[in-house]
Structure 1
Amino acid sequence: MITIGRLARYAGVTIKTIRVYHAKGLLPEPERDSSGYRRYTARHVIDLIKIRTLADAGVPLARIRELRAAPDADLHQALRDVDADLTTRIRNLRRTQKHLRRLAAGDADLLPPEISAHLDRLRELGFSPRWVELQADLWVLVFATHPETATELLHDQADVLADPALRQIFLDYDHAHDLDPHDPFIEELAGRMADATRDRYDVDRLPGQDTDSDIPALIQGTVNASSPAWQRLDTLVRQQLHD
């Protein structure tokens, strides 16, 4: 008969672990002796070593409890299942590690290659670093939440930038960031933006304006929050489109 401390040493676990196994029904608690101490037997040592071995191998504690009295075939199948699960987890962890290393080395981006190329194009066209950084953040959001439509939206943006008149509107919008919201240029630009939107789109079904998603509103809110002038532009354009 041995004490819980000696049992822990024999099995290579802590006393706290043994108590956890007792609480979860993995290891039956022995009767107490006349002094009130639990006294363990060799059977407890053997059972505890088996439990520890399975736990160290990755078998969930709840599954160990089920397998304690199971036939050997069930135990072997459970171990094969755990092995398959570990193989999948290792593969995923290696993929994650590889991606993290690429990010750390500066060889990868949060965005698909086509977005990186789009941002490079914005720089070439003369857009401000502030605008490029804002666009990068917004495209992260779009690709994360709406991957099925993000590419279509990107192509639409490329078409817009290929049109000199539309491209100038976006350049003027970028420039307007630091203007006074009541600068006359703001009203003139809002008129051009509204006209261009009506000419290019159905104003009731603008690109990305999915009625089941609040992402477009979040994006516009982010843009408006960065500049009072942009906020007034948004208000004026919306008014003109719905007059």
Structure 2
Amino acid sequence: MRIGELAALLGVSTRTVRHYHQQGVLPEPPRRANGYRDYGMRDAVALARVRRLVQLGLSLDEAREVIAEDRSRELAEILTEIDADLARQEREIRERRAKLADLLRRAGPLGPDDVASPDLLMLLRAVSLPESKAAAWDRELLMLMDSVAAEPGRRRALAQLESLAADPEAAAVGHEFYRRLDELADAEPGDPRIAPLARELAGYSREHLLAGSGPATRGWDPALLDPFLDGLAPAQAQVVRQAVEIIATGFRTDAGTSATTG
């Protein structure tokens, strides 16, 4: 198969495959007489291994060592190991779904008509969101959280969103966050852009979306957000997790300072 077929098979871009070649992580097959490189089953397995190792937080240097060791192993042995890893992932997904179910139960029972409020749907239709996967994910999350929110929290959140949409400068900054998140779609979890973006996103959220929400936000557990991150790439999800941790820690710090100085 060609490089595009290999990339599509594993759900990555050809740019990602070429990047792994350039970094020496993924062996590059020689060109044939027709000028093309042909990839086989072992190449597909190696790419799958690289992606999984990166998701687990290994650096490319560490992944390179693992892939180099795999070259001396039987393909069946590697596939068996991947199958065992998929089984572990399946258990983790079930656990994450259980956390989500618990979160929804605590938010209150949902009936068949419990959907996002008409006011929020009208606002989302009125604002101009960019053509962005990150923006689409954010929109879905807003609708989900609105559908389970109780009054007056729903009204307060909607008012903050309306205020944000009415501020061209703040909205432009929000769109820039979407663009920067989209740029991390193929990035590694250790990308140096993650931490600065998380800090800026946390500050933006506290200023524009969470004003006056200290008591409600102080008890946030970043792990509870995991069920909502399936639509994001690993590096993008890391930005959101770090931003939530910064927000929660910041509010806890603020509360402690107020108690001390008050």
TM-score (norm 2): 0.38
In the superposition, the TM-score normalised over structure 1's length comes to: 0.40
Higher RCO structure, 1 or 2 (CA under 8 Å, sep 6+)? 2
The structure with more radius of gyration? 1
